[in-house]
Chains A and B, each alone.
Chain A
Amino acid sequence: MKITDQLVEKHGLKKDEFENIKKLLGREPNLLELGIFSAMWNEHCSYKSSRLHLKKLPIAGEQVIQGPGENAGVIDIGDDDAIVFKIESHNHPSYIEPYQGAATGVGGILRDVFTMGARPIALLNSIHFGAPDHPKTKSLLNGVVSGIGGYGNCIGIPTVGGETKFNETYNENILVNAMAVGHAKKNKIFYSKAKGLNKSVVYVGSKTGRDGIHGASMASAEFDEESEEKKPTVQVGDPFTEKLLMEACLELMKDNSIISIQDMGAAGLTSSSVEMASKGSLGIELDLEKVPCREENMTPYEMMLSESQERMLIILEDGKENSAKKIFDKWDLDFVIIGKTTNTNKLILKFNNKIEGEIPIEALASKAPVYDRKWIKKKPSKIKVDLKNLKKIKIEDALIKILSSPNHSNKSWVTNQYDQMVMCDTAQKSGSDAAIIRIHNKDKAIAVSVDSSANYCKSSPLTGGKQIVCENWRNLIAVGAKPLAITNCLNFGNPENKEIMGEFAECINGIKEACEFLNYPVVSGNVSFYNGTNNKNIYPTPVIGGVGLIQKLTKPINHYFKKENSSIIVIGKTIGHIEQSCFLKENYSINEGLPPEINLLNEKNNGESLLKLIEKNLVLSSHDISNGGLITALCEMTFSSNFGAKIYKPKKLTNMFKYFFGEDQGRYIIEIEAENLPKVEKILKDDKIYYENIGFTQKEKFEIEGELNILTKDLFKINNEWYNKY
């Protein structure tokens, strides 16, 4: 087949990229080779627009066993335990087919984790939808939530946390980011780097079908005529097979059969084989007629580019083929030797003994394009919002408006669709600042949280980048965990637009600054560009997934008030930053001005001091203050418990709205047994931490002296209405 300009374009390759391919090959590629280049050189696999910026992120630390570049990051949590984790996006497929898109997003990220030898122990997600009144939102929400649940529930990994947000910026492009966390033995981590010549390359798992070929971007006329049947471009998930594949892989990993292992994710067989060979500086040769196929007459092109789910590629030690096959037979899964490692440094694809494609590995990996795209800094907004100019409202009404809004409503409609308890190590379900998962058969536990702040990032990408790392850090601290490392999913618009690229570059700078300061390295992640439709780009939405360690879990800390007459203390200073607050957004639809600044030194000191208090068992409950400010956080502490609070009239700050709704960073609310107050105050004073004693807990009512007096059960009811009425 003649490779026309049109065909090149349909493969998403630019003219100069195609010229470069011809130079690297010394000839024109055939269709199969073109398809392989297009799969490896696309943004998703090559990170060509982001690579230069990602290099800036801190990736090392004494807690890091494996940073970015592998299937997932690995950190040390002491003894012989390691935690393996990563977050990934599945935005475009989920918009086209929400159930399968979201489900396969979960499946894909799980494979990244168990490929490395870890048993997955928790799933989290960050999902962003358009405005609730947009005609597609309701069905997308329904589909995505049941897809996430459908996959995780069936495979039997608890979905323990996440966030569900609405904003019209996602009307035409929702975000579905899934994070998986696994536990492994430190000396039993498996990597994708191939080693040794003439080793068997084994295909295991589901059969290959025509689903997912080239995702949504590919639809050539020639191609259509040749294909018997048009399948949707979104892959179809089969969590049952994934469960079998997971158990079989983990069983095989118990002995020393595996040299290297890689899941077939994006770009399926192509990227998995190239990645293994490239990391091992080897060649790889595949006999494609041996690939187990689901459909008849599949061509090499289709096999190499299919994104059928639940498949793995394994390179085995010599002589282990039979014992390995037995395990996969037990689980009724395909196990076929489809090729071998070679010293040619080439990817050689044979079909019925005829060479159909031959590409130097480095042309697909290290020589893939890298772009230093133009970017510009965002001009900071100078707008200050003067509350005096706004229509007067009552504190109570403003609060109710926030609590009943889609973004702040109780999310049990969502989380009740996820099995949060399976595996019986979930010590803290979603709904608190972070989820807590006990390490099986041990006293220790990890805390996990996923966070994003697109509004802050839109108005100031640099501050937003910093803020989101800090908020995530704070969420782990609030449940008594020492934050160790993060994974990030960077959801942005079109990188060829210099303003969007500027948002990306500045967000990365912010993330870098905060991660460095907090010793909170990035160990894995994913970039998703081109989120937008018809030149309308989404808000910059970096999503941070953090993991922290609780050395000895005796009683999980959450944010619910525990008893009457305890003291309520706010750690961190309340200045009253009101721009970019929920208060202005929900009550006045004002989105202007800058987000609250981040003071990294205070952030670190406040967090570390609180961790000290929790470790000394001085804290009954604790909550970070974020969107909605102090008053919203206080209300949340009254939910699901019988205790309310009485808050004194603030002394220093005259504007009540700024005091109660301002979103100053680095703050926490803690509940302290009254008799422990002196001890706590001494520690905070010794640590030079700014704190305020703002009131005490009481039965049933939430009160602010002279301003507000409302039954907590009424607040709870208000908070629970939106989803059930939607």
Chain B
Amino acid sequence: MRSSVIVFPGSNCDRDIAVALEKMQFKNQMVWHKETKLPKSDLIVIPGGFSYGDYLRSGAIAGKSLIINEVKNAANSGCLILGICNGFQILTETGLLRGTLLRNKNLKFINKDVYVKVTNNNSKFTNKYKKDQILNLNIAHNEGNYFTDQKHLDELKNNNLIAFRYCDEKGSINDFYNPNGSLENIAGIFNSKKNILGMMPHPERMVDEIISNKDGVNLFSSLLN
């Protein structure tokens, strides 16, 4: 499977995701933001970091960058797009995903391992997970507090477009285990066609037991499935 990782000035999880993809046998290429053409790809990843310093608003400037038009075209023709952390923020800025990511409820950067529940395992991204499987993933962000309007929220729920939700160790979804104030504990969502996934937790940080755990592995192997 061919993957492309978009590198913006200020991206800083680009190497991490590339390492994970290569480890999972993806044929990966890095694509610099000034490029106007994307290499043929089955998967495009927008990595975490602070694109353009996240000045103005997280993801706002990246959402207007040269390469992003190509990403939009690819998305519209059905290419799989994965946005992680800043990548999720950028996807909401481009309109490929709806809603927005607000400042964390506690107004602080949060880095910790949290539990998330796979609420939809019927997708290209999650089919190797069990439904309601509980994963322990790392989050690291200032703006991860997902918000959207009621109509869109209903749509997300009715069409089963919520991919991951923050939960406790046993899978219960409650306020106490909502790290950043996200609406309905949302940690990741699909677009309506489910070819785009945006998520705040970092699956690429969870593919190596010496460093953390392997809870992120199945996201990549789902894509290969």
Q: Are A417 and B109 in contact (CB under 8 A)?
A: yes
* Distance in Å: Cβ of A671 to nearest Cβ of chain B: 20
* Distance in Å: Cβ of B104 to nearest Cβ of chain A: 10
Q: Are A423 and B16 in contact (CB under 8 A)?
A: yes
| Selected interface stretch from B46-54, B89-97, B121-129, B185-193 | B46-54
A-contact bits for B33-45, CB 8 A (1 contact / 0 none): 0100000000000
Q: Are A331 and B9 in contact (CB under 8 A)?
A: yes
Nearest CB in chain A to that of B138: its residue: A421
> Once the chains are docked, how many angstroms separate the CA of A331 from the CA of B52?
11
Q: Are A155 and B9 in contact (CB under 8 A)?
A: no
Q: Are B211 and A426 in contact (CB under 8 A)?
A: yes
Instruction: Check if B204 is an interface residue, CB within 8 A of chain A.
Output: yes
Instruction: List B contacts of A331 (CB < 8 A).
Output: 9
* Distance in Å: Cβ of A91 to nearest Cβ of chain B: 23
Contacts known (A156-B13, A421-B202, A424-B204); A239 close to B110, Cβ less than 8 A: no
Q: Which of B20, B52, B53, B111 sits near A418, CB closer than 8 Å? A: B111
Instruction: Check if B176 is an interface residue, CB within 8 A of chain A.
Output: no
* Distance in Å: Cβ of A286 to nearest Cβ of chain B: 29
Q: Are A239 and B53 in contact (CB under 8 A)?
A: yes
Q: Which of B16, B19, B109, B138 sits near A153, CB closer than 8 Å? A: B109
Q: Are A244 and B9 in contact (CB under 8 A)?
A: yes
* Distance in Å: Cβ of A441 to nearest Cβ of chain B: 9
Instruction: Check if A38 is an interface residue, CB within 8 A of chain B.
Output: no
Instruction: List A contacts of B112 (CB < 8 A).
Output: 412, 416
Q: Are A424 and B140 in contact (CB under 8 A)?
A: no
* Distance in Å: Cβ of A446 to nearest Cβ of chain B: 14
A-contact bits for B133-144, CB 8 A (1 contact / 0 none): 000001010100
> Once the chains are docked, how many angstroms separate the CA of A569 from the CA of B204?
38
On chain A, the number of residues with a Cβ less than 8 Å from chain B's Cβ atoms is 35
> Which has the most chain A C-beta neighbours within 10 Å: B12, B19, B55, B112?
B12
Instruction: List B contacts of A424 (CB < 8 A).
Output: 16, 19-20, 204-205, 208, 211
Nearest CB in chain A to that of B212: its residue: A421
B-contact bits for A540-561, CB 8 A (1 contact / 0 none): 0000000000000111100000
Instruction: List B contacts of A108 (CB < 8 A).
Output: none
> Once the chains are docked, how many angstroms separate the CA of A581 from the CA of B84?
47
Contacts known (A243-B12, A421-B140, A427-B210); A154 close to B50, Cβ less than 8 A: yes
> Once the chains are docked, how many angstroms separate the CA of A331 from the CA of B108?
29
Q: Are B211 and A146 in contact (CB under 8 A)?
A: no
> Once the chains are docked, how many angstroms separate the CA of A239 from the CA of B49?
12
- Size bracket, chain B contacts: 20 to 34
> Once the chains are docked, how many angstroms separate the CA of A241 from the CA of B53?
8
Contacts known (A421-B212, A423-B15, A424-B16); A150 close to B109, Cβ less than 8 A: yes
> Once the chains are docked, how many angstroms separate the CA of A421 from the CA of B212?
9
Instruction: List A contacts of B78 (CB < 8 A).
Output: none
Nearest CB in chain A to that of B12: its residue: A156
Instruction: Check if A332 is an interface residue, CB within 8 A of chain B.
Output: yes
Q: Are A149 and B10 in contact (CB under 8 A)?
A: no
Nearest CB in chain B to that of A420: its residue: B111
> Once the chains are docked, how many angstroms separate the CA of A153 from the CA of B112?
13
Contacts known (A146-B109, A153-B109, A416-B111); A422 close to B211, Cβ less than 8 A: no
Instruction: List B contacts of A420 (CB < 8 A).
Output: 111
* Distance in Å: Cβ of A140 to nearest Cβ of chain B: 16
Which residues from chain B sit less than 8 Å from chain A, CB to CB?
Answer: 9-10, 12-13, 15-16, 19-20, 34, 48-50, 52-55, 108-112, 138, 140, 142, 202, 204-205, 208, 210-212
Besides A412-B112, A421-B111, 12 more A-B contacts (Cβ < 8 Å) are A149-B109, A153-B142, A154-B53, A238-B53, A240-B50, A243-B50, A416-B111, A421-B211, A421-B212, A422-B13, A424-B205, A438-B211
12 contacts between A and B (CB under 8 A): A154-B50, A156-B12, A156-B49, A240-B53, A421-B138, A421-B202, A424-B205, A424-B208, A424-B211, A425-B211, A426-B211, A438-B210
